[in-house]
Amino acid sequence: MSSTTLPSEQNGAWTEAGKQRFVMKCGGSTLAALPESFFADLRDLQAQGIQPVIVHGGGPAISDNLAKLGIETEFVNGLRKTTEAVLDVVEMVLAGSINKQIVRLIQRVGGRAIGLSGVDGGLIQARPVTNHAEIGWVGEVTGVEAPIIQGVVDMGYMPVIAPVGVDVSGQRYNINADTAAGAVASHLGVSRMIVVTDVPGIMKTVRGEKKVLPSVSVQEIEDMIQTGEIYGGMIPKVRAAIACIHGDVREVVIVDGSEPQILSRVLGGEAIGTRIIRMP
């Protein structure tokens, strides 16, 4: 088990409502590529009484399965149009193969996890996005049944949540994973989140050398995109992290999941990765 010492309930910045808990968002493909030690770190945190709640995506796997099934998809302004046929595959991949793969990876190292879809128990309630006529069954979150998540945690399991939402009529919705993670964190009363990626944080060139910015505001990120300091594949990563800043969530830490004991180090207060903060 990890020897990393985490903050006590009295001085721990990550303590919420008398208990240490955190929401972690990660893409399905990123999680699948992480070393076994990452999941061992999750197991050790759980054993120490820390409460991880995981929300995952799975875009590349959805695309792969749509191609295998011969289902063509249309993109509108960079967003996949979610028809009923596409939605069937979204649910199959997110709530099925990706979700259970993550559960297996956690359990293989001795952790305890339960996979959930946002449909289960009406966990993630949703309604159509405003431009649903263009992009189909894509939803925005209207509510989260936080007691279901807390109940799973209280039984000693990590909730692993697939971002598929549902409305009162039973209609399913494809939910952006980052938005879903932010909503889950906000409804749980968690003010900070960890976004696990394959980059060390937001980089900036200082005197000809790329350096990780320890802290940056949402506005500063937008400015850096405009000036070209953030470019290419980093733009969707930072925009995804910004999407997690929702409701009560005021800060997101973006980190490289391949770093040893990255979660324990962040929770222990180490200055690693980039903190993205929403200014008052």
CATH architecture of 18-277: 3-Layer(aba) Sandwich (3.40)
Is the predicted pLDDT of residue 171 greater than 90, yes or no? Answer: yes
Is the predicted pLDDT of residue 2 greater than 50, yes or no? Answer: no
Higher pLDDT, 245 or 246: 245
Kindly compute the dihedral angle of the four CA atoms of residues 142, 243, 44, 213, in this order, to the nearest 10 degrees: -160
Exposed/middle/buried for 77, CB within 10 Å: 0-12, 13-18, 19+? Answer: exposed
Is the predicted pLDDT of residue 11 greater than 80, yes or no? Answer: no
Give the mean pLDDT of 219-235.
85
Please state, for a pLDDT cut of 70, what percent of the chain lies above it: 92
- Determine contact, residues 175/141, Cβ cutoff 8 Å: yes
**Band of the pLDDT at 72, cuts 50, 70, 90?**
confident
- Partners of 200 in the β-ladder: none
**Band of the pLDDT at 169, cuts 50, 70, 90?**
very high
- Determine contact, residues 139/98, Cβ cutoff 8 Å: no
**Mean of per-residue pLDDT scores for the chain:** 87
Helix (H) or strand (E) holding 34: none
CA distance 232 to 223: 15
Is the predicted pLDDT of residue 239 greater than 60, yes or no? Answer: yes
Q: DSSP secondary-structure letter at 163? A: -
Please state, for a pLDDT cut of 90, what percent of the chain lies above it: 60
Ramachandran angles phi, psi of 223, nearest 5°: -65, -40
The overall pTM is greater than 0.85:
yes
Distances from the Cα of 177 to the Cαs of 49, 56, 57, 114, 163, in angstroms?
26, 6, 5, 18, 6
Task: Give the pLDDT score at 266.
Answer: 93
Choose among 131, 139, 124: nearest CA to 53.
124
Task: Give the pLDDT score at 3.
Answer: 44
Is the predicted pLDDT of residue 215 greater than 70, yes or no? Answer: yes
Residues 120-145 have pLDDT tens digits of: 999 999 999 999 989 999 999 999 99
Higher pLDDT, 146 or 236: 146
**Band of the pLDDT at 1, cuts 50, 70, 90?**
very low
Is the predicted pLDDT of residue 14 greater than 60, yes or no? Answer: no
Q: What residue type is 112 in one-letter code? A: R
Give the mean pLDDT of 104-117.
96
As given in the structure block, the two tokens for residue 49 are 């009484």
Task: Give the pLDDT score at 207.
Answer: 81
**Band of the pLDDT at 19, cuts 50, 70, 90?**
low
CA distance 144 to 100: 21
CA distance 249 to 144: 14
Domain extent listing, the chain: 18-277
